[in-house]
Chain A
């Protein structure tokens, strides 16, 4: 045989991947720089299909990058900036050591800096791509904006994050795109629909952070560096899509009002601006003055292949959305001091409620017709349910109804908590007012049923006794021939049995791989059912316990 000897691992998948260390050497970067580059450029390791082949026969745990990705990084201009920065730091240190202050000043003037614009454009070639990846960016910015300014990261970063977060909130208010809110024990989840893309983010509750020691803040800061750039550009585009000025300006009229009359500024200009913006209570200035009633009726373009039903459904959806947007129309909210201000202000502003802070009704306004004092959960639940829930359930002193996650859409076979069922019924327009009475009635009925059941049980016991007696009799008269009983065969059941047997036999004939898959799927299904049953049982036990307690207390009251 002629030709060169073919060596192993020189072709195929082994050449498509590169280990991290080799990639680092190829790029001539230190590990922190490499990490930073990967974070900024969005390069992540890949799991090869045949790890052993790629690993050249070894089974050691290694992370692999695509060789193409690393080659792509080679051309990145930021890599050079990293090197420049390293040199800069070295020079600066030297100048400090020699106390050459003029050199220090000169060096600081020429500090190398880089921009991430091109990377954002490269990673997200279209705007929709950027929107899809906004979840983490928002969550991170909201987290960083709550950090204390004590050296966990640069103060400028924190301020920038705060600004961008507030700007985004203002956009959501202006565009009316909030869809869901959820108070979890971790923080508050929000979901907005921005240009058709669901964007979900979480904000922590406003407490001081207990900064953990086992977290590398440098990694988080690098992520934030990229996210702030991304969010800035996204905000710009979003504001312009609404014809709003960016950076946002508070609407002229409000601006005049807010300015102190003496012309003295009580705080730094930029800070007060951010404060005003983050109050979320003023509307924003537009590029083009809004014409009144610019809500033009949308023309309907029937999409091909869409049936009338679908059209109707879409229309209904639209109507529901409109209704949702005008949920709190005409209501006026007074926030108490102890409620978290920002999330509530955000939500109430979003659904066109009008917001006053702290002070109860000001004299110049007509006094509110009915004064209700629902807890904040009512607002959140109403927004999620897309209707004004009855306030009676939420009055102070009453045990609050559970707060359900709006992100869960139960599929068939999943466990649905009864509160959700009630809510769904309410959304369908069924009368929720009678439900309590019904419940009470039901309770009574149930009591009756219980009695009946008990009676039935007694009866059944009697029957059993009779049977036993008969059996004994039969035993004693074993030699006698008794009339045969006609055994009725349950045809349905027989058929079912037959079908299940057929199925069992067919499963026997499955191929090994398919059988494995089938068993896995069935296992998952069974587990789901088991969990749903468990939850249902727990609920039942809880309900009965509560009922009994009620009964006891009632009896105690009667006695």
Chain B
């Protein structure tokens, strides 16, 4: 039984309470109710009637404690509300009545209806329907409405009244208002006066029984006073003094559980205070290695002026700055808020990202990997190396003194006579010009009919001869400048050549110049099979080497002028040769390929050293007059200084140019070297080499010389030192040659 449901069937099923009281159950009066009667002509359906009854408050339903007048019949449990105790009462029920239903409502109605069947007007005729508790609509389409006790069909009463008849009856029949149709039989039932009265009373919320007094004086069955006699005289039960088996079982289970440790005694309350002096005994031993290794999280950044609610006006963002701020990624923003100004403290709103920021801080604290980083706290001035002052390292070229104009295209190469009086320059305008150094006067112009890749003045002061690379040949030219005796002697020397009896196979052809060429100064032509890109003299002035742009072993050739004899020193190609160089004193020969410089001993005919330049592409090379140091310029804007005694790796790698180096040069006497680069500058450095082998060379840049204009992304193409003075020449892509003193 669900609690809370009040079963109200009692009074209805005891219709005798409504009036007579002593009727036998079989004669139980059915409660048939018709409409209100107070002029209300509409008949109440049983359902409506029941609704009206059920709507009554539970207390209004009379419950009779003494069922004396009733014959003990079936016991019916009546429960009113959850808290009320059970009231048992007996009352008569018709024997055919089905068991009381489980739920109130419609079923109640169905249960009542059989009781209604015996019509008071025809008590002899028993037309009770046996179909039971079913919806009567099922019989809608049948002529009968059910079966009687004998199993015969109960036919529906003939209803041939139309609307008009109905109306007439309603108007004429004075009992119309108390006539109800029985659903089970279809017959009309006229309610008696008592029944009408009962309905009226129930509607008003009164007790069904007229004689019931709801206000009877209360009788206290139990008082608060202790009585001397027991309420009942019953002897005590045996079970009240015999230990209960069930209890024993339960206890033994608990004892077992305690023994097994499944049930533990309640823990004593922890009575230590929540907070106490935790650091009362600060123990230095408790500082473990862990704490020393600990990387404390950096503290939150303290707010600056811009975070104020009323910052100085310069900290507010302008419109563009605000736009830029919005377009930035949140992680990239320098400030994580937009500075704002408020008139007064009252106008400051809540900061919407406050919880976010706290949360992000939490995430930082436990998710961010930490690392100890050494912060460099140096004065940048301390990083600059302490070098000797350039002023103390004089002399070196400082200013541009002369400009040699005359060429019409890039001046690729320069060379100077050993005396230092004449300068020769080769250019892309297919001419070679000879200049007087001190006056910048062009003494002679020699058209050669091709781009001049390289020129080299014979270093022997007794010979006046210039080697010029033009396309596939090397021209040996006597410029006929300076001392007449000197250049006359050179011509004689060249003419004194006697061809050997036996013609030898040579990699090149030595051709004597024609008359026309001779008049221009050309004395000999060494014809190569391919284009020549560099020529360089040996210090004695008899041998010279030429570099052919080729991939074979024929790249480097060494020529002897006096014997007009050429030879190919290498059997195998070791890569694309960039430039070659003779050692000034010893019989060494330097060959620079793209990344390495190889040093060969010409006497022993073997490789002595291989220098690693650490550059991507060597462009040029120069040797210190002492012969122990080499500098290499490279197209990746590096200059490598090699100390041959020290190592095969560079002693120092200077990166002072911004663009590719085109050429490098050493001074013959002064401790100076220069480098020319595509960025249009010539950097002159002091490069002191000490005689003491223990002391490393001292390299100090002393001057950046600017002067050449940039043309075709090219700046300085060649640099050259004066043989005796601390002067430097540079040739540039702006078709000039400049002298700095």
Contacts and interface: CB of A to CB of B under 8 A. Distances in A.
Q: 5 tightest CB-CB pairs across the interface, nearest first?
A: A207-B350, A47-B371, A407-B302, A508-B656, A47-B369
A495 B420 CA distance: 34
Interface in A500-525: 501-510, 512, 514, 517-518, 521-522, 525
A139 interface: yes
Contacts, number: 255
A184 B702 contact: no
A204 interface: yes
B355 A211 contact: yes
B291 interface: yes
Given A143-B358, A376-B345, A514-B383, A44 B368 contact: yes
A135 interface: yes
B358 A139 contact: yes
B309 interface: yes
A121 interface: yes
Given A215-B359, A514-B383, A400 B344 contact: yes
A44 B365 contact: yes
Contacts of B371: 46-47, 49
- Among B295, B385, B683, max chain A CB count under 10 A is at B385
Contacts of B386: 506
Nearest to A191: B302
A510 B275 contact: no
A120 B279 CA distance: 10
Contacts of A339: 345-346
Interface string B292-319: 0001110110111101111111110010
Contacts of A338: 346
A45 interface: yes
A46 B370 contact: yes
Interface in B324-364: 337, 339-340, 342-346, 348-359, 361-363
Contacts of B683: 508
A404 to B, nearest CB: 6
Nearest to A129: B291
A240 B277 contact: yes
B310 A403 contact: yes
B384 A518 contact: yes
A411 B358 CA distance: 29
A459 interface: no
B304 A407 contact: yes
Nearest to A376: B345
12 contacts: A44-B365, A122-B286, A139-B358, A185-B351, A212-B356, A233-B279, A400-B310, A402-B310, A510-B385, A518-B383, A538-B314, A539-B312
A394 B720 CA distance: 76
Contacts of B353: 186
A47 B309 contact: no
A45 B368 contact: yes
B96 interface: no
Contacts of A126: 279, 282, 287
B268 to A, nearest CB: 13
A434 interface: no
Given A47-B370, A126-B279, A246-B275, A184 B307 contact: yes
Contacts of B346: 338-339
A120 B278 contact: yes
Interface string A66-90: 0010001000000000000000000
Interface in B63-90: none
A416 to B, nearest CB: 10
Q: Say which size band chain A's interface belongs to.
A: 35 or more
Given A126-B287, A338-B346, A538-B314, A405 B278 contact: no
B351 A377 contact: no
Chain B interface secondary structure, helix, strand, loop or mixed?
Answer: loop
A145 interface: no
A169 B290 CA distance: 33
Given A136-B300, A236-B278, A417-B312, 6 more contacts: A39-B365, A46-B369, A209-B350, A209-B355, A404-B308, A405-B305
Contacts of B276: 233, 236
B699 interface: yes
B204 to A, nearest CB: 45
A125 B291 contact: yes
Contacts of B357: 186
Given A117-B278, A509-B699, A63 B314 contact: no
A205 B348 contact: yes
Contact of A133 (B296, B368, B385): B296
Interface stretch (A6-14, A216-224, A256-264): A216-224
A204 B370 contact: no
Contacts of B297: 44
A140 B362 CA distance: 9
Nearest to B340: A185
B399 to A, nearest CB: 13
A407 B348 contact: no
Contacts of B349: 205, 207
Given A72-B290, A140-B358, A44 B366 contact: yes
Interface in B654-668: 654-656
Contact of B380 (A49, A518, A538): A518
A435 B23 CA distance: 118
Contacts of B439: none
A219 B344 contact: no
Contacts of A44: 295, 297, 365-370
Contacts of B361: 136, 139
Contacts of B315: 417, 535
A35 B363 CA distance: 11
A74 to B, nearest CB: 14
Contacts of A377: 310, 344-345
B383 A517 contact: yes
Contacts of B359: 215-216, 219-220
B366 A507 contact: no
B296 A132 contact: yes
Nearest to A219: B362
A182 B350 contact: no
Given A184-B308, A185-B337, A535-B315, A135 B300 contact: yes
B229 interface: no
B266 interface: yes
